[in-house]
Amino acid sequence: MVWNYFVPVALTVILLWLVSVYFNHKESAKGKLILWYSGVTASALLGVFIILYWFDIKRPPMRTMAETRIWYSFLVSLVSLSVFKAYRSKNILTIGLIMASVFLVVDIIHPEYQGRFLMPALQSPWFIPHVVSYMLAYAVLASASLSVAWTSFSKGSVHDELQQQMRLVYPGFALLTLGMLLGAYWAKFAWGDYWAWDPKEVWALITWFFYLLVIHIHRYMPTKHKLLARLMIVALWVLLITWLGIKYLPSASQSIHVYGG
């Protein structure tokens, strides 16, 4: 059973990512090579694990919180490595890989193995694209927000890097839109309504409108760096509530989206 290998695989992946983070802050040509290959190998290893696990349990591994964390970990690492490759953004790489490692650590502590059960409503071709778009969107947007938070707290000024960080918000927002619309389209087939105002849906909509606000301020109030940076940090909280915090809210008593486990 593939799940039995999770802990050794996760520990190896975390180790390789930490090696990558270490060399990210060393100035040497060799270090650059090591950081890149170590990071990529780790993500590839995790990717292979996900695929093998998927085959093993014969259903998409996206049902439990623990399973979504593996995906986040994988996708956040991919996003931060690609952003690093494209823009040489060291902060995003460090934050991204540390965040990805934290997800895996949480999974080592709380594996929440759930087996092969998959309720009929989730057995849909739209399930995977819906969840993957959302997870990718969350990964991209969280990387952008975390990176803004990092620069505003460590440097006190956000001006220089904000434009670069904001570049991530647009693809992130497009993915968020895609995930939401795929979900709505699927919901019409599975539950009869494209939108049911379930607490998770309300928070997904709040997240969407929040980033919409951020985008409008970025485009039309270009000098308001501080306001934008603050909103980006608040946006991260909104995103976290949507993903993790719903079940702690008074409004969550009836939600079809609260993860198993």
Residues that bind another protein (CB under 8 A): 1, 3, 113, 115-121, 123-124, 167, 170-171, 173-174, 177-178, 181, 184-185, 188-195, 197, 199, 202-203, 205-206, 209-210, 212-213, 216-217, 219-221, 224, 227, 241, 249-251, 253
Q: Tell me the closest approach of the beta carbon of residue 38 to another protein, in angstroms.
A: 28
Q: Tell me the closest approach of the beta carbon of residue 243 to another protein, in angstroms.
A: 13
Burial code (b: 16+ CB inside 10 Å, e: under 16) for 248-258 equals: eeeebeebebe
- Phi, psi dihedrals of residue 17, rounded to the nearest 5°: -65, -40
- Residue closer to another protein by CB (options 153, 237) is 237
- Residue closer to another protein by CB (options 18, 128) is 128
- Residue closer to another protein by CB (options 6, 17) is 6
Q: Tell me the closest approach of the beta carbon of residue 165 to another protein, in angstroms.
A: 13
Phi-psi region of 193 (alpha: psi -120 to 50; beta: other; left: phi over 0): beta
Q: Tell me the closest approach of the beta carbon of residue 41 to another protein, in angstroms.
A: 28
- Residue closer to another protein by CB (options 28, 251) is 251
Q: Which residues contact 163 (CB under 8 A, 6 or more apart)?
A: none
CB distance 160 to 152 below 8 Å: no
- Residue closer to another protein by CB (options 96, 199) is 199
Q: Is 64 helix (H, G, I), strand (E, B) or coil?
A: strand
Could you tell me which residues are beta bridge partners of residue 251?
A: none
Q: Tell me the closest approach of the beta carbon of residue 134 to another protein, in angstroms.
A: 14
Neighbours of 10 (CB within 10 A): 22
